[in-house]
Structure 1
Amino acid sequence: MKNRTADHRERLDAHVLVCTNSREEYDCCADAGGAETLTAVKAWLRERDAFWSSVSVVETGCLGLCSEGGAAIAIQPRDEWYSDVQPEDVPALLESAFGPEADRVGNTTSQPADD
C-alpha cells in the first residue's frame, strides 16, 4: 500500500462530485438525469481542455440532496452543494466555480462571475 496523499493534494484543486444514485422507493438522482448531468460536467471541462486537469470528476452515490428536480452536485474542498441540477444548468454552475473558460481551475475558492 502506498500513501499518495501529498501527491494528490499537489495535483488536485477541486473535486466535482455528481450523484447518479438509484433508489426504488424515493426520488433519486438516477431518475432525475444524474448520468446526463455527469456527462455534461465532463463535456464542459473537455471543451475547455480542463478535463485532465486539477479538477477531478467523480460519479458518486447519494449526496443526501435527492429530489425529482435533478441531480446533486458537490464541489470540494470548496464546500459547495447543489441540488436539482439539470444538464442545462451545468455551464452556469461550473462557470461560476471555475470561470467561463475554466481559467480559475487552480483557485481553491470560487469567485462570483463578473457582472
Structure 2
Amino acid sequence: MRDRTKAVRERGFTDHVLVCTNGRDSEYAACADAHGPAVYDAVREWLRDRDVFWSHVHVAETSCLGLCSADGTAVAVHPRNRWYSDVRPGEVPELLRAEFGEDASRLGVETANNRE
C-alpha cells in the first residue's frame, strides 16, 4: 500500500465529486434509472466549463451511496462531507455553484456548508 496523498495534493487536487450511477434489477429505485448518467455528464460539463475538471476536482461514478430515490441521483462532495439526493441534471449548476462558487474559485476551502 502506498500513501499518495502528498502527490495528489501537490498536483492541485482539492475536491472530489461522487455521482451514483448504480443500476439494479429490482423493484427498488436506483440512480441509473433516476438520471444518474445525465447528472454525471452535467457535473463534468460544469467543471470543464470552469477549467477545473481533473485538474482540481476529480469526478467519479460510484455504486450505491445509500440515498436511493426514483426522483433523482445521489451526489457526494468531499472533503466537504456534503451529501445530496434527488439531484436532476438541471440542478447540477445550482448545486456546484453553492459548493464551489460561480467560477469554481472556492475549491479546497472550508465553507459553512461542510461544518454542519
Same fold at TM > 0.5: yes
Listed one character per residue, the Cα deviations across residues 9-47 of structure 1 (whole Å, up to 9, x for unaligned) are 443211100000001111000000100000000000111
Write out aligned runs for 1:3-22 (5 A).
Answer: 3-10=3-10, 11-22=12-23
Contact 1:96-1:110 at 8 Å conserved across structures: no
Give, in whole Å, the separation in 1 of the partners of 2:112 and 2:54.
22
Write out aligned runs for 1:21-36 (5 A).
Answer: 21-25=22-26, 26-36=28-38
Which segments of 5 or more consecutive residues in structure 2 lack a partner in the other structure? none
The structure with the largest helix share of the pair is 2
- Structure-2 change in CA distance of 1:80 and 1:63 (3 Å): same
Q: TM-score, normalised by structure 2?
A: 0.88
Give, in whole Å, the separation in 2 of the partners of 1:22 and 1:4.
31
Partner of 1:85: 87
Write out aligned runs for 1:55-94 (5 A).
Answer: 55-94=57-96
Question: May I ask how many residue pairs the two structures share in their alignment?
Answer: 111
Contact 1:98-1:110 at 8 Å conserved across structures: no
Partner of 1:37: 39
Over aligned residue pairs, what C-alpha RMSD do you find?
1.6
Which segments of 5 or more consecutive residues in structure 1 lack a partner in the other structure? none
1:5 CA displacement: 2.5
Percent identity of the aligned residues?
53
**1:6 is matched by which residue type in structure 2?**
K
1:86 CA displacement: 0.2
